[in-house]
Amino acid sequence: MLSKTLGAAVQGIDAITVTIEVSIEWGSGFTIVGLPDTAVKESGERTRCAIIEAGFDFPRKNVVINMSPADIKKEGSAYDLPIAIGILASDEKVSTQLLDRYMIMGELGLDGSLRPIKGALPMAILARQLHLDGFILPRDNAMEAAIVNNLNVYGLDSLQQVIAFLNGQVQLQPTAVDTRAEFAKAQGQFPYDFSEVKGQENVKRAFEVACAGGHNILLIGSPGSGKSMMAKRLPSILPPLSLQEALETTKIHSVAGKLRRGTTLLTRRPFRSPHHTISPVALVGGGTYPTPGEISLAHNGVLFLDELPEFNRSVLEVMRQPLEDRLIHISRAKYAVEYPASFMLVASMNPCPCGYYGHPKKPCICTPHQRQQYLAKISGPLLDRIDLQIEVQPVAVDELASKQAGEPSAAIRARVVKARELQTQRFGATAGVHCNAQMTPSMIHQWAEPDAEGLRQLKHAIESMNMSARAYDRILKVARTIADLDGSPQVRAPHIMEAISYRSLDRSNYFNM
């Protein structure tokens, strides 16, 4: 007898339908076709033991399983459950009446228990698009999949429960999640706050500008000056995720298997901080079985690279294209995938190998050549893509000892949100552009043209500091953000001058210090 169950495969961050066809005929053997990987091929032993533990005999016949479409690679252990149900349906142990109305996915333990899978959210979205009655999957993934409205999600614990449900022996209640309530409840909860930061008002201002416009920022200063400490507080002043952004971000983390058990929706912008030993593939994504990298996991959030010059040069250079296009295209001989990568780059570094160049009290022991070699680890094109470059000086002891709290993150965030609202109105009719950092050259001419004095100041700075054309555009983007924070419809000279001050560590300028 032939049976069919519905499953899904993840490609990029979306899912496609996979039909598992099972035929049981006279003979002996167990065959899986349809480009299965090793984990799928090994499902035979897991399903055999799970079926026996559920109280059924495994068919002593020839079992042939086809996974359609046959030209797409099937990866992972999530096909165990639909394969087991297909075998039992072909052996007339499970009713086929509901099989074409439910998507079924899950990994099986040898005892028949259901174990969590990756990519449950995009699979649930696909099930809704197919107008299926529901999605059957492990209980650990139920909250994640139940984010999708108008779809019955059944989180179960064992193969026995799935069989009983499909045979009509038990009635189950679908998992219910009030997505908007969950989303609203967790807004504004952060472990770190800028009120805990003593001094560093110029750096706080630079962070405010960066968050208001979605700009990339580089902090350069001696050890212990507070670079990493302030960077960790950055999410607390970023504008809140929209529901659509939250769904998109959760989808990426679901595909990568990064969601904790019982998680429903990511409600805070991600903050990813990979170690400097990371490989290019781990950063951008891909691999033998393609998964999103750190860049995509930081989508709609922050990618923090601490000790930037310590990263391998090849790792840093692969970020150049994603920083511009906000997408990652990965093409290999056997696959091509696309991952979103709209993130805010925040990086920190020491000014020299010893770390104390420019320190007010500790002398630097590096030679000028050593300092140049250290900074040369960061290429000019990459540095050009960083809008704000800020020197961080150590905080004076008197400020550290002060008991007066700094400005709280909530106050800074309110100004950032107000500036972002102006940008939302400005770019509302333009798809894919949500903040000033994403403006195209034509949009810069339309929205960020400075007044006559501002233009004069900008030309003088570009010529005297020997900046590139990309730096020219980025100064105008930052100036537009400063004007938004100021509530000014026109980019004026003070806005241009402040934006230029944030390029003080531009390569040609810094080497001549």
Model pLDDT, residue 513: 45
**Confidence band for 280, pLDDT divided at 50, 70 and 90:** very high
pLDDT tens-place string over residues 453-483: 999 999 988 888 877 777 889 999 999 999 9
Entry field: residues in the chain: 513
**Confidence band for 507, pLDDT divided at 50, 70 and 90:** very low
CA distances from 407 to 89, 176, 239, 439 (A): 64, 40, 17, 30
Q: Taking 50 as the threshold, does the pLDDT of residue 509 lie above it?
A: no
Most confident of the ranges 53-62, 186-195, 256-265, 457-466 = 53-62
Short-list 300, 314, 251, 247, CA closest to 272:
300
Amino acid at 342: S
> Which of 163-167, 263-267, 445-449 has the least mean pLDDT?
263-267
Short-list 302, 251, 217, 296, CA closest to 145:
251
Q: Provide long-range contacts, Cβ within 8 A and 24+ apart, for 464-468.
A: 465/503, 465/506, 465/508, 465/509, 466/508, 467/503, 467/506, 467/508, 468/380, 468/384
Two structure tokens written together for 16: 């496609």
Two structure tokens written together for 512: 């001549």
Q: Taking 50 as the threshold, does the pLDDT of residue 320 lie above it?
A: yes
Tell me the average pLDDT of the chain.
Answer: 89
Model pLDDT, residue 361: 86
The pTM of the full predicted model, rounded to 2 decimals, is: 0.87
User: Do 90 and 57 touch, CB atoms closer than 8 A?
Assistant: no
